[in-house]
Amino acid sequence: MLNGKHVVIGVTGGIAVYKVVDVVSRLKKLGAEITVIMTKHATEFVTPLTFRSLSLNYVVVDMFEEPKTWNVEHISIAQRADLFLMAPATANIIGKMAHGIADDMVSTVVMATKAPVWIAPAMNTGMYTNPVVQRNIDDLKSLGYNFIEPDSGRLACGDIGVGKLASPERIVETISKAMVRQDLKGKKILVTAGPTQEAIDPVRYITNHSSGKMGYAIAEAAKNRGAQVTLVSGPVNLDKISGIETIDVVSAQDMYDAVVDRMDDMDVIIKSAAVADYRPADVSDHKMKKSDDDLSIALERTKDIALEVSKKKQNQVVIGFAAESQNVIENAKKKIDKKDFDFIVCNNIITEGAGFKSDTNIVTIVDKDGTVTEYEKMLKKDIAEIILDKIR
């Protein structure tokens, strides 16, 4: 999500520094390059080594230490930032910024940068609500600085009130959105993900190996690019995505009902779920006891959700998926014609790195006009961006 983005983080002296360690870890997992600058007071709470180990980059503390490059260091750091995050932002650094004071590396770099600056305050309630601090915050806001408002709760000093550093999740989500293009803002997108389970009896069911990772990656990428996303998910072992309406379903019929009920309100429908094609014709109300004989189970077709969507759609963009093990392109082209997809994403599930449960995939996209575009193995989150690029 943040590949190629450079975040500079100014860390100042407060007990909430430990939360910024988590922020750095989360941003690194999203692909960001990170440079951490610390005040000397901040190093009393967390050592520079901790941030260096997580960011995989040197940490700057002293303005007058031997520079790591031949450039003027505070200027070079400021210039390569795509975003500057001040966290935790103490009353002291907020006051310095509001009055143009640059007497250490953190305050010097933030003054020199032309990148968007996001400030996450953390301090005692009395300090945060102090009229001087609030005036400084208002002044910075009027100058175009952005704030991630603090949480309320029990503070390190024991007081109860506003002033807690925002959660690492909220900080990362906020600045990630600020760095990712919002080209899907205003779009309503429905994504289906995961397998379905078709009951045999109260104990057993028929399912498949889908993990839901592809659909969840698409849903999260669409949300990050500004879309209003509804995720219809079969049973998966994945965390819910904040900011997304998730509809949990079990069977193919459940998924059919959820999709059809909501499709009229959507601009885009992405059918990445692995829906069962068949289900037991008769479902036992009680556990079927084993015997010495073989067992035959009669199966009947489930509703073809993609086909029904194609019949009912109006102006929606509909994207299909095809997981095949042979004649991949031929089968995908048949499917795109039958189900009137705008394009289809297909893969060979028996190719290493392209099957279920993997974090990677190897896909080919077939357009409605027959154009075939092949992609090398890449992370599913990167494939999600490619898919979304085609529907803008």
The residues carrying an active-site annotation are 157
Distance CA 221, CA 154 (A): 34
Q: 288 in helix, strand or coil? A: coil
* Rounded CA separation 84/114 (Å): 9
- In degrees and rounded to multiples of 5, residue 24 shows phi and psi of -60, -45
User: Considering just the CA atoms, what is the radius of gyration of the chain in Å?
Assistant: 26
> Which three-class secondary structure state does DSSP give residue 213?
helix
Q: Which residues of 361-382 are buried (b: 16+ CB within 10 A; e: fewer)?
A: bbbbbbeeeeeeeeeeebbbbb
Strands 205-206 and 198-199: what pairing? antiparallel
Strands (E), 39-115: 59-60, 83-89
Q: Are 192 and 232 a contacting pair, CB within 8 Å? A: yes
The residues near 16 (Cβ < 8 Å, ≥ 6 apart) are: 87, 88, 122, 156, 164, 165
Sign, CA torsion 61/63/66/68: positive
Extract the tokens encoding 363.
């896909």
